[in-house]
Structure 1
Amino acid sequence: MKQVDDSTSYIRAGWLIDGSGKAAQKDVLLVVNTGQIVFIKPYAPEIIPANGQLTDLSFATILPPLIDSHLHLSMSGAVDAALRENQLVAGCEELLPYIHRHLKQLFDHGVLAVRDGGDRHDCVLEFMAKGMSNYPIAIHSPGRAYHRAGRYGGLIGRAVAEGDSPAELLMRRNHQQDYLKVVNSGLNSLKEYGHETPPQFSKDELKNLCELAHSKQIKVMVHANGRVPVQQAIEAGCDSIEHGFFMGRKNLERMVEYGCTWVPTVVTMKAYAEVLEFEGNISGAAIAARNYESQLEQLRQAKKIGVKVALGTDSGSPGVLHGESVFEEMKLYGKAGYSLVETVQCATANGAELLGLADKGILQTQAAANFLVARGTPAQLPRKLSYLENIFIAGKPSALYRKNPVK
């Protein structure tokens, strides 16, 4: 443990939600040295030496930075059809400025770690390799996703021809990232409620891929909707199911059995319903709304069963904006019966575990003193996350964050 000395700073918080799922603590003191939390204890004035540096946040709630465990940095979430079409076919030179803009939006909403869901040209990986980010955001990307030739996935990845196995492609590709993305189903239908597409890969193909990836310390995230595509991915040993619409209770139980994490992206279908209604597609909007309600019910079941859930938004989808969609998703967790601290755990500690971020997710002794400051009590969350009071990095207000910036 670090020693308390003249360089030590003291931060008083009105309330602390530490990310572990424990109840919020009231009136606490964080002792910070060289950017690291030395200890957390109930506030008492006598702890602070006469020459101690006290930052008074007694008017606010602090919590760990948020993690979006599923998004698409190269897509903007725009609803303008022409803009979306252009982004879907654009090359990296055109998309890199968008990625930078999306990271700013994420940072302004307190999101300091993200897991990308793939893009067809490896533009996010190029962005990372060039060191273009000005923001302290941990970016994880699988690069291009694997999908079966002729099936959904061309917008975010590379095709696996019939007769080829994704495991063999992994061997040839010399994959350097800590994640792989596999697409094992189609999208949710906006014409036929609950329609399930067949799996793109066999269970054996997925199992071989997962075993090979794990031998290289690479995790596998699988886009899958419907009972059979999800079941195969879980039983093959994947690390997370992305979306999982219409997968059913049995698959939720399998997730617990196999230790698989679920990233439900509920807000995506809610946003689709709103966009389609605005565009006058009433039948599509009605089906999207039913998809959303179905996913919300699955989330309620997941809580009761004990599924490990990591919050992801699929931001970049139509109407799903980077950063803002995180607290929108958090509000939906509340509708599904999650308490505030359980919701924060899904958006912090569970995401950190999924992404392998041992130093993030929970505010505790020896962790980095990085946290969000939301004015008011926990009862005002997650609403207050839409306009944070401040973001602290290494125990100090970040120079990159401006409250209510002039646009």
Structure 2
Amino acid sequence: MSKIFHLLVGHLIDGTGGPIKRNVLLSVEEDCIRSAKEMRPEALAKVKDTAIEDLSHCTLLPGLVDAHVHLTMSGTNDMQFRQKQLTFGYTEAAPLISKHLHQHLSHGIVAVRDGGDSNGHTLRYKLEDPLFKGYPIHLKAAGKAWHAPGRYGRLIGRTPLEGLTLAESITQENRQSDHIKIINSGLNSLKHFGKETPPQFHVSELKAAVQAGLEHHLKTMVHANGILPVAQALEAACHSIEHGFFMGKTNLEKMAEMGRFWVPTACTMKAYSEELPAGAQELDIARQNLEHQLDQIAYARKTGVLLAVGTDSGGLGIHHGASIVEELKLFIAAGFSLEGVIQCCSANGSKLIGLSDVLGEIRSGAAATFVITAGPPSCLPDALNKPERVYVNGNMISGAH
């Protein structure tokens, strides 16, 4: 006999960016959504019976995607531990990865894209660890990121192999990865507002690297801040720009034209503005960086850039799971509607990481993977700090709230 259940929710945000629906009857059969129908008051009176669970005080939305995380790193501000975690062997890193995945799931995040670690622990965890087998979250892992010799990136990756080009190294080393991660700029300065670093790779190297990934059906995500590093990544036809601080309007317009994704990770600067000591010069620069990034997000929305939500969780003050709430708030501050930002965090994110066939929207035939939060939509995104329920493939996940 098929497992069938029915939920009556007060509000539904379906992930398409369309208007919020009211009084929706969601029917689930096995692991799929059979229907999601908006009900008129007179119709509600007819269908109310013991087979329908009344959650009319709640809001339902698709399972969320965090498109940029670092699972081997904690967001702690304990600097001694921050350094120690970078030296962890696999046996020490695996329980930390498990803990961070649980934190994501407990905030309604059902898929994460990892941006790399220097030892490749997260990819190994996905491929081998019994702790992950059967765990109800999608994990996409890059393994080790790539950076140029003598440039930023050692804490999350490595340089091309000796005697090989970047593309040749990718062909040799990334066969088990879910995507390629390339670092093509430095970090954002907290000393000089808007200071840009030069690209790490020549555009011809980037083009060959992206092509090498495509030969193994792998997309390429590129860490890039500043006008030229982003322009080169786009010229190389990378699939997403990560961070993209100070990239400028021309790059945003090009991104919209090409249909490429941007993952702004604005909450990185918000975290710095909260963690740095009062009165520090860096505090003021972090706030300026954040404001500039919000202006870029606003322009991207108007221009039609495809945005996905990523937090860079694992950075200083950027806690796994909880930071999704902060990033959603920043998108809203930049002009996104609640419906629009949930689309960025569900349908757009699932498309970016190759899961749009199983995640992203609440519709008939889709997987029954969704989040239920207490209260009306006005309680979001804060209500994601403690969802009422998280369902994955029709199963309510115990311990996820």
C-alpha separation between the residues in 2 aligned to 1:255 and 1:87? 36
Specify the alignment match of 2:121 in structure 1: 123
Contact between 1:148 and 1:162, CA under 8 Å: does it hold in 2? no
Specify the alignment match of 1:158 in structure 2: 158
Task: Return the offset for 1:381.
Answer: 1.1
Aligned with residue 113 of structure 1, among 111, 114, 120 = 111
Task: Return the offset for 1:7.
Answer: 4.2
Contact between 1:8 and 1:53, CA under 8 Å: does it hold in 2? no
Specify the alignment match of 1:203 in structure 2: 203
C-alpha separation between the residues in 2 aligned to 1:47 and 1:141? 48
TM-score, scaled to structure 2: 0.95
Contact between 2:153 and 2:183, CA under 8 Å: does it hold in 1? yes
Specify the alignment match of 2:16 in structure 1: 20
Total equivalences in the alignment? 395
Does 2:180 correspond to 1:184?
Answer: no
Amino acid at match of 1:180: I
Specify the alignment match of 1:382 in structure 2: 381
Task: Return the offset for 1:213.
Answer: 1.2
Specify the alignment match of 2:309 in structure 1: 311
Specify the alignment match of 2:36 in structure 1: 40
Contact between 2:168 and 2:212, CA under 8 Å: does it hold in 1? no
Specify the alignment match of 1:333 in structure 2: 331
C-alpha separation between the residues in 2 aligned to 1:174 and 1:61? 41
Secondary structure of 1:322's aligned partner: coil
Does 2:359 correspond to 1:365?
Answer: no
Task: Return the offset for 1:387.
Answer: 1.7
Does 2:27 correspond to 1:31?
Answer: yes
Specify the alignment match of 1:405 in structure 2: none
Specify the alignment match of 2:212 in structure 1: 212
Amino acid at match of 1:205: E
TM-score, scaled to structure 1: 0.93
Secondary structure of 2:242's aligned partner: strand
Where in structure 1 are there 5+ consecutive unaligned residues? 403-407
Secondary structure of 1:303's aligned partner: helix
Amino acid at match of 1:254: K
Where in structure 2 are there 5+ consecutive unaligned residues? none
- Aligned-residue Cα RMSD (Å) equals 1.8
Contact between 1:149 and 1:162, CA under 8 Å: does it hold in 2? no
Task: Return the offset for 1:397.
Answer: 2.9
Would the alpha carbon gap of residues 87 and 174 (structure 1) be closer, same or farther in structure 2, given more than 3 Å must change? Answer: closer
Task: Return the offset for 1:218.
Answer: 0.4
Task: Return the offset for 1:88.
Answer: 1.7
Specify the alignment match of 1:288 in structure 2: 286
Task: Return the offset for 1:131.
Answer: 3.3
C-alpha separation between the residues in 2 aligned to 1:368 and 1:161? 41
Contact between 2:371 and 2:390, CA under 8 Å: does it hold in 1? yes
Task: Return the offset for 1:363.
Answer: 0.9
C-alpha separation between the residues in 1 aligned to 2:106 and 2:99? 11
Task: Return the offset for 1:48.
Answer: 4.5
Select between 92-101 and 325-334 the one with higher mean Cα deviation. Answer: 92-101
Specify the alignment match of 1:82 in structure 2: 80
Secondary structure of 2:147's aligned partner: strand
Amino acid at match of 1:64: P
C-alpha separation between the residues in 2 aligned to 1:121 and 1:318? 20
Select between 7-16 and 290-299 the one with higher mean Cα deviation. Answer: 7-16
C-alpha separation between the residues in 1 aligned to 2:113 and 2:399? 22
C-alpha separation between the residues in 1 aligned to 2:393 and 2:178? 26
Amino acid at match of 2:96: Y
Q: Can you list the C-alpha shifts for 1:280-328, whole angstroms capped at 9, x where unaligned?
A: 5611111111111111110011011110000000010000000000011
Would the alpha carbon gap of residues 236 and 125 (structure 1) be closer, same or farther in structure 2, given more than 3 Å must change? Answer: same
Amino acid at match of 1:384: A
C-alpha separation between the residues in 1 aligned to 2:46 and 2:147? 58
C-alpha separation between the residues in 1 aligned to 2:259 and 2:308? 13
Contact between 1:107 and 1:323, CA under 8 Å: does it hold in 2? yes
Specify the alignment match of 1:57 in structure 2: 55
Q: Can you list the C-alpha shifts for 1:216-273, whole angstroms capped at 9, x where unaligned?
A: 2100000000000000001100000000000000000110122210000000011012
Amino acid at match of 2:29: N
Amino acid at match of 1:311: V
Task: Return the offset for 1:121.
Answer: 0.5
Contact between 2:123 and 2:177, CA under 8 Å: does it hold in 1? no
Contact between 2:106 and 2:400, CA under 8 Å: does it hold in 1? yes
C-alpha separation between the residues in 1 aligned to 2:400 and 2:76? 24
